[in-house]
Amino acid sequence: MATIAFIGLGNMGGPMAANLVKAGHTVTGFDLSADSVARFLAAGGKSAKTVAEAVAGAEVVVSMLPEGRHVEAVYGGADGVFAHAGPGTLCIDSSTIAVDTARGVAKLGVDKGFVFVDAPVSGGTGGAAAGTLTFMVGGTAAGFEAAKPFLDKMGKTIVHAGDAGAGQAAKICNNMILGISMIAVCEGFALARKLGLDEQKLFDISSTASGQCWSLTSYCPVPGPVPTSPANRDYAPGFAAAMMLKDLKLAQDVAASAGQTTPLGADAAALYQRFVDAGNAGVDFSGIIRFLEGK
């Protein structure tokens, strides 16, 4: 069993850290939210008042943070991981950030003698709680092998995507596909309602026909067909619209820098921007069906 520091105990990080505790590791968490820390303590974890305190003596550092600037500060800042953890410490960042930012933090860490991998996730809060996340890992083969035993306790599918930043590239491409496909599914059901077609009938047909996709079969945006989808909880977020917008913007930024046109990705980003601007930042991203229906 390892001594682990977990930085970022929010809706995703908290359950992930709790699963490491369940696996028998000694986990010390840090978060700016007192409520998040309290939930982690109730799950059997320990707490620290600073990042420096959390990483002191840690063999592994895992982070789940909102944006790239937070990752840069937590790892590279004067009070951060690289300044206070021991050389050789394994660092796993599961935040979703820009590819170049991930590569920059990884280079800084490697130059200072740390083992660093970017390991963003897919699966939402449900997957975080159940330990069934998909991890997309960027880094050296040795870094991936070092990280995998810990990722296995938090996820079901662990894939080495390539060198530093490849995990972020995979996550950004995946979530652009997800955002586009969710809008398509929502438009299909919105049209079905206008045509008087029973929603369950459309689900039964499309889920076994050429319209089949994860947004339909696992996360159906209308109540009923998939009981576990947020549509059955008034679109309480498993993955908030603001987070989808963030990922779609990252996809547009990296597409521009790579010289690749992504017209549907751009349209999806524009639609989610309007949805968020209308006051729906905290609504599940599948709730955009209500916006498309004029509600």
The closest alpha carbon to 246, from 191, 168, 155, belongs to: 168
Per-residue pLDDT of the chain (295 residues; tens, 9 = 90+): 999 999 999 999 999 999 999 999 999 999 999 999 999 999 999 999 999 999 999 999 999 999 999 999 999 999 999 999 999 999 999 999 999 999 999 999 999 999 999 999 998 888 999 999 999 999 999 999 999 999 999 999 999 999 999 999 999 999 999 999 999 999 999 999 999 999 999 999 999 999 999 999 999 999 999 999 999 999 999 899 999 999 999 999 999 999 999 999 999 999 999 999 999 999 999 999 999 999 8
Backbone angles phi, psi at 51, to 5 degrees: -60, -45
The closest alpha carbon to 4, from 173, 154, 130, 180, belongs to: 154
Q: Where are the alpha helices (DSSP H) in 152-239?
A: 166-195, 199-206, 214-217
The closest alpha carbon to 230, from 153, 173, 282, 168, belongs to: 282
> Which of 49, 112, 156, 171 is flagged as catalytic?
171
**Please, are residues 288 and 241 in contact by the beta-carbon 8 Å criterion?**
yes
pLDDT score, position 295: 85
At 153, list the tokens. Answer: 């306790």
171 catalytic per annotation: yes
145: CB partners within 8 A, 6+ apart: none
